[in-house]
Amino acid sequence: MVTHENKLIAEIEELKKEFEKTTDKLIKDVKRQDKIMSRSDKRQQQEYDELQKKFLEVEALQREIEDTQKEVVFTMGAIGESRSKETGNHVKRVAQYSKILAHHYGLDEKEAEMLKQASPMHDIGKVAIPDAVLNKPGRFDEEERKIMDTHAQLGYDMLKMSDRPLLKMAATVAYEHHEKWNGKGYPNQLKGEDIHIYGRITALADVFDALGSSRVYKEAWDDERIFKMFKEERGEHFDPQLIDIFFDNLDEFLEVRDSLKDVH
Amino acid sequence: MQNLNIEETKYTPRIELDASNGTISIVGKSYPENTFEFYEPVMKWLEDYFDGNAQAETKINLEIIYFNSSSSKLFFDLFDLLEEANDANTIIINWIYDEENESALEAGEDFQEDFENLTINLISK
Residue A177 sits in a domain whose CATH number is: 1.10.3210.10
In a domain, A264, yes or no: no
Residue B60 lies in domain: 4-124
Q: For residue A152, which amino acid is it? A: A
| A30 and A133 fall within a common domain | no
Residue A113: pLDDT band with limits 50, 70, 90: very high
Kindly report, residue by residue over B14-62, the tens digit of the pLDDT: 999 999 999 999 999 999 999 999 999 999 999 999 999 999 999 999 9
**Alpha helix locations (H) across A177-239?**
197-212, 223-232
Q: Give the contacts of A12 (CB within 8 A, at least 6 positions apart).
A: none
Output the DSSP codes for B12-77. Answer: S-EEEEETTTTEEEEEEEE--SSHHHHHHHHHHHHHHHHTTT--SEEEEEEEEEEE-HHHHHHHHH
The CATH number of the domain where B14 resides is what? 3.30.750
Q: How confident is the model at residue A88 (pLDDT cuts 50, 70, 90)?
A: low
**Claim to verify: residue A151 and residue A239 sit in the same structural domain:** yes
* Residue A46: inside a domain: yes
Q: What is the mean pLDDT of chain B?
A: 94
Tell me if residue A261 is catalytic: no
Q: How many domains are contained in chain A?
A: 2
Closest CA to A159 of A174, A148, A178: A174
Same domain for A147 and A93: yes
* Residue A102 maps to a domain: yes
Question: What was the pLDDT predicted at B14?
Answer: 98
Range of the domain at A92: 83-259
- For residue A37, what is the nearest residue in chain B, using CA coordinates? B69
For the purposes of burial, counting CB atoms within 10 Å of the CB of A138, is it exposed (0-12), middle (13-18) or buried (19 or more)?
Answer: exposed
More confident residue, A262 or A187: A187
Query: With an 8 Å Cβ cutoff, are B103 and A43 in contact?
Result: yes
pLDDT band at A218 (very low <50, low <70, confident <90, very high): confident
- For residues A21 and A230, what is the distance between their CA atoms, to the nearest angstrom? 96
Please tell me whether residues A224 and A198 are part of one structural domain: yes
Identify whether residues A6 and A129 lie together within a single domain.
no
Which of chain A's residues have a Cβ under 8 Å away from the Cβ of B103?
A: 39, 42-43, 46
Examine the domain organization and report whether A60 and A91 are in the same domain.
Answer: no
Which of A50, A72, A94 represents a domain boundary (last residue)?
A72
Tell me the residue type at A247. F
Q: Is the pLDDT of residue B79 over 60?
A: yes
Residue A1 pLDDT > 60: no
Between CA A231 and CA B105 the distance in angstroms is 78
Question: Which of A124-138, A238-252, B16-30 is the least confident region?
Answer: A124-138
Nearest to A119 by CA among A180, A201, A57, A43: A201
Co-location of A28 and A127 in the same domain: no
Q: Is there a single domain that holds both residue A119 and residue A38?
A: no
- The answer to whether the CB of B10 falls within 8 A of the CB of B31 is no
CA-nearest residue to B67 within chain A is A40
d(CA A70, CA A118): 9
- Cα dihedral A45, A46, A49, A54 in deg (nearest 10): -140
pLDDT at A87: 64
Q: How many domains does chain B have?
A: 1
**Residues of B engaging A, defined by a Cβ cutoff of 8 Å:** 68-69, 72-73, 76, 102-103, 106-107, 110, 114
Is it the case that residue B71 has pLDDT exceeding 70? yes
